[in-house]
Structure 1
Amino acid sequence: MGRGVVVALMLCLMGAAVMGEDPYLYFTWNVTYGNISPLGVNQQGILINGQFPGPEINSTSNNNVIVNVFNNLDEPLLFTWHGVQQRKNSWQDGTLGTQCPIAPGTNYTYKFQVKDQIGSFFYYPTVGLQRAAGGFGGLRINSRLLIPVPYADPEDEYWVLIGDWYGKSHKTLQGFLDSGRSLGRPDGVHINGKNDIDGSGKALYTMKPGKTYKYRICNVGLKDSLNFRIQGHPMKLVETEGSHTVQNTYEVEPGKWTPEKRKNYNLLDGISRHTVQVYPKSWAAIMLTFDNAGMWNLRSENSENRYLGQQLYISVLSPEHSLRDEYNLPETQLLCGLVKDLPKPPPYST
């Protein structure tokens, strides 16, 4: 009788563990070339499931996201999830140097958790200048229902994926940089892959007078800083790159940096950012906390500069080889280069 009680208790605990796991979201992406016309002229773009921009990933904090990517381009492909922390999981960061690219005609499944995050992010392809051809889309991380947010619920919310755009293909632009030329000035600006170039004035969204709406605004362009406003309507910033805003004044300073400037650093409650804009003839101080084991890419978000080498890798090591600090290299991880024929390292202990 005692044995039966113990078995029943164990089964109940196992059932509770399964029921308590965070939800999984599954996506299948077919990545192809296709005709797009962000500036009113047809050109070759990168589509995801036939869409430009790509499909939204609509998740909630702590969800597990599974994205099976089929690469039907004629070139290698990787996606990065800009701003997602990838806790203990640099294996899914999607940059060359942390992951081998998905070869043409093959597929790879990304598996990551949007752990303890909220906010508006986006994904994009990281190989070469593929971002100049599309392949980007919005990644929304909603706050869990029991966690309050510091503003009232809006009537609705919309994406504004805004960016500069070049009329030439990404391979042509890559050739410019390879030959020592600059990309030059972009040909225009698009919002959600569209530009009112024909003057039709067709609205992207329809709103009701007197209501409040949330806009998730991401700069998906290559190099230009863009200002966004809606004429005749006030706008309030409620979140930036995963952090609800506080009423502090930042001036992320002109002139030349000197060691004396360290006395003015905010080391207490500086706002958390994934990108920092440094204005011409100015400087910015960045504080990094190395609390996430793995190999991480620190790069310029000016795609021209990044392609030409303005990036580096930071290896964050943990003295304890344990799953508490870093996940194991996935069995399905793509291998390439010098490590392709080497045996995979033994798994960490729990």
Structure 2
Amino acid sequence: MAAGNGAGGVAIALLLFLAMPSALLVAGDDPYRFFTWTVTYGDITPLGVKQQGILINGQFPGPTIEAVTNDNLIINVFNKLNDPFLLSWNGIQQRRNSFEDGVAGTTCPIPPGGNFTYILQVKDQIGTYFYFPSLAFHKAAGGFGAIRVLSRPMIPVPFPPPAADYPLLIGDWYKANHTDLKYMLDSGKALGFPDGLLINGRSWDGYTFNVQQGRTYRFRISNVGLSTSLNIRFQGHTMKLVEVEGSHTMQTTYSSLDVHLGQSYSVLLTADQPAYDYAVVVSTRFTSKIISTTAVLRYSGSTGKSPAALPGGPTIQIDWSLNQARSIRWNLTASGPRPNPQGSYHYGMVTTTRTIRLASSSATVNGKQRYAVNGVSHVNPDTPLKIADYYKIAGVFSVGTISDSPSGGGSAYLQTAVMGASYRDYVEIVFENPESEVQSWHIDGYAFWVVGMDGGKWSSASRQGYNLRDAVSRYTVQVYPNSWTAIYMPLDNVGMWNVRSENWARQYLGQQFYLRVWTSSTSWRDEYPIPKNALLCGRAAGRRTRPL
């Protein structure tokens, strides 16, 4: 845990305590963890070429956040960049508090030279997540890091404690600076194929995981890349999948695992081989050419590299990956963040109140490449949507600017896209992919059950094949080419929530929208008011937050 130093750290902690919502202060039994982060530019050479990277406390990738269920995380971020900056929290739900989501539609950016303190709670959560910078294509420069949320000591976990718990951040990478990549997108050009892959910010054999023979280790794998699905395997070893984005799974063994953009998995690996150095191999999937990289799994007392050949990845594309995805099942008897079994909520027995079909598309708008959902290519307004909603500022957005079903044709238009929804509704969302590349979708503030996926076009008859018993609950889901994926989701979190493509060029060029989950209630039990320390910008500049 990082914290401020000396009297300065105490003063910061006191100010933060005074600034917290009263609802948080009442929850005195939940511990607080304080972090102070300074965000700077610095030279990095992950692919052997010097480029401008984003560092957090001088680190690339950034520090790992470790927390326990229900912990309050107080993260004071100082922006030393020369442009505005925000961090977002992939999979951390921000219950009743979308003001802290850290995306353009909810949170004013931290100005250059300024700071902002995120006040988050990992309420009723466990599992594997990550954080990343959400503005200005900063994600292509770094600024990301791992988050692991451990179970409370009295809550049983369905496997013995591992000997060590390793974050394993994988992703594609470009040698060009993020500013050059952003200029390419702004000019209407494609990014092209990535230059390489990274494991924990390093290229070929640049990172080492140390193990001891006979012990079992947990690896938390997250695809933090920009554009590419990846496959991971451990030379001479198998992986036992135990958790997906906050859900304990049935403990299935895999020799390799597809990890799509924005997704996170936990696997157990037993060091049951002779004492050598083994390769952790990551390679691209569903691409015209395959690029790979490796890290080192080093046994204590290793006598050198394993003489075995490096393991190859799967050669069958969609069918292999689709079947693997379908094999990932929820562990109905394991405790989640609470002692009751995960399967105690019978999601398949609840009647859905609404079906939302979301179709991706690419189009040329005003002579430039854009991407869209249901024909709308999102543009951010001058004031974050959540702040405009809170202050009832007219003219920033209109609810209903994106429809519940795809529009005809392949054209698109620019619009600030907001879909309205009612608190406590139970919805079916179908992601439809008529294009030729794998896509990945994330919904902030929510977990959902992946009830079905298949090739072709979705229809009401597709429901006959849904898994309504033990589908995994997660935050990010893939949609295969010319295919569909269906989810069930209870709208139990009031706020303004980003629904986005995890392909970062597509997201940047409009393939996202905001889901406004609304209730007429003004009770803090349903939604917290705006934080007292909130930054205000755009048409909200100069307004006051709640008095101290």
TM-score by length of 1: 0.89
Displacement of 1:286:
2.1
Give 1:133's match in structure 2, choosing from 132, 141, 145: 141
Give 2:165's match in structure 1, choosing from 150, 157, 168: 157
Identity of aligned residues (%): 55
User: Are positions 1:120 and 2:128 aligned together?
Assistant: yes
Which residue number corresponds to residue 250 of structure 2?
A: 246
Determine the C-alpha separation between the residues in 1 that align with 2:164 and 2:502.
30
Give 1:207's match in structure 2, choosing from 205, 211, 215: 211
Determine the C-alpha separation between the residues in 2 that align with 1:21 and 1:152.
27
Asked if 1 retains the 8 angstrom alpha-carbon contact of 2:532 and 2:547, the reply is no
Determine the C-alpha separation between the residues in 1 that align with 2:243 and 2:193.
30
Unaligned runs of 5+ in 1: 1-16
Determine the C-alpha separation between the residues in 2 that align with 1:203 and 1:187.
18
Which residue number corresponds to residue 474 of structure 2?
A: 273
Which residue number corresponds to residue 294 of structure 1?
A: 495
Asked if 1 retains the 8 angstrom alpha-carbon contact of 2:167 and 2:219, the reply is yes
Report the residue type matching 2:162 in the other structure: P
Which residue number corresponds to residue 222 of structure 2?
A: 218
User: Are positions 1:180 and 2:188 aligned together?
Assistant: yes
Displacement of 1:285:
0.8
Give 1:230's match in structure 2, choosing from 228, 234, 252: 234
SS of 1:228's partner is strand
Asked if 1 retains the 8 angstrom alpha-carbon contact of 2:133 and 2:144, the reply is yes
* CA-to-aligned-CA distance 1:320-342 (integer Å, 9 cap, x gap): 11110011101111111122244
Report the residue type matching 2:502 in the other structure: E
TM-score by length of 2: 0.58
Determine the C-alpha separation between the residues in 2 that align with 1:203 and 1:190.
9
Asked if 2 retains the 8 angstrom alpha-carbon contact of 1:52 and 1:135, the reply is yes
Asked if 2 retains the 8 angstrom alpha-carbon contact of 1:157 and 1:213, the reply is yes
List structure 1 segments (4+ residues) > 6 angstroms apart after TM superposition. Answer: none
Give 2:539's match in structure 1, choosing from 321, 338, 346: 338
Displacement of 1:319:
2.5
SS of 2:118's partner is strand
User: Are positions 1:41 and 2:49 aligned together?
Assistant: yes
Displacement of 1:271:
1.5
Give 1:51's match in structure 2, choosing from 25, 50, 59: 59
Give 2:525's match in structure 1, choosing from 313, 324, 335: 324
Unaligned runs of 5+ in 2: 1-24, 252-325, 329-451
Report the residue type matching 1:314 in the other structure: L
* CA-to-aligned-CA distance 1:299-319 (integer Å, 9 cap, x gap): 100001100100000111123
Determine the C-alpha separation between the residues in 2 that align with 1:135 and 1:206.
25
Higher strand share: 2
Report the residue type matching 1:240 in the other structure: V
> CA 1:84–1:232 in 2, change beyond 3 Å: closer, same or farther?
same
Q: CA RMSD in A?
A: 1.9
SS of 1:288's partner is strand
Displacement of 1:65:
0.1
Which residue number corresponds to residue 315 of structure 1?
A: 516
User: Using CA pairs below 8 Å that are at least 6 residues apart, which structure has the higher relative contact order?
Assistant: 1
Asked if 2 retains the 8 angstrom alpha-carbon contact of 1:119 and 1:142, the reply is yes
Which residue number corresponds to residue 9 of structure 1?
A: none
Determine the C-alpha separation between the residues in 2 that align with 1:344 and 1:52.
35
Determine the C-alpha separation between the residues in 1 that align with 2:46 and 2:244.
26
SS of 2:229's partner is coil
* CA-to-aligned-CA distance 1:191-242 (integer Å, 9 cap, x gap): 011002xxxx465111112221110101111010011110110101100011
Determine the C-alpha separation between the residues in 2 that align with 1:341 and 1:262.
51
Displacement of 1:344:
4.7
Asked if 1 retains the 8 angstrom alpha-carbon contact of 2:88 and 2:132, the reply is yes
Asked if 2 retains the 8 angstrom alpha-carbon contact of 1:252 and 1:276, the reply is no
Deviates more, 1:267-276 or 1:26-35: 267-276
> CA 1:244–1:330 in 2, change beyond 3 Å: closer, same or farther?
same
Determine the C-alpha separation between the residues in 1 that align with 2:156 and 2:527.
30
SS of 1:210's partner is coil
Determine the C-alpha separation between the residues in 2 that align with 1:125 and 1:279.
26
Determine the C-alpha separation between the residues in 2 that align with 1:314 and 1:345.
25
Asked if 2 retains the 8 angstrom alpha-carbon contact of 1:252 and 1:277, the reply is no
Which residue number corresponds to residue 457 of structure 2?
A: 256
Determine the C-alpha separation between the residues in 2 that align with 1:87 and 1:77.
23
Displacement of 1:254:
1.2
Counting only pairs closer than 5 Å after superposition, residues 1-20 of structure 1 correspond to structure 2 as 20=28
* CA-to-aligned-CA distance 1:272-295 (integer Å, 9 cap, x gap): 111101111211012222110111
Determine the C-alpha separation between the residues in 2 that align with 1:269 and 1:241.
15
User: Are positions 1:104 and 2:112 aligned together?
Assistant: yes
Displacement of 1:249:
3.1
Report the residue type matching 1:335 in the other structure: L
Report the residue type matching 1:185 in the other structure: F
> CA 1:317–1:268 in 2, change beyond 3 Å: closer, same or farther?
farther
User: Are positions 1:303 and 2:504 aligned together?
Assistant: yes
Report the residue type matching 1:320 in the other structure: S
Determine the C-alpha separation between the residues in 2 that align with 1:203 and 1:304.
28
Determine the C-alpha separation between the residues in 1 that align with 2:479 and 2:31.
39
Determine the C-alpha separation between the residues in 2 that align with 1:238 and 1:45.
33
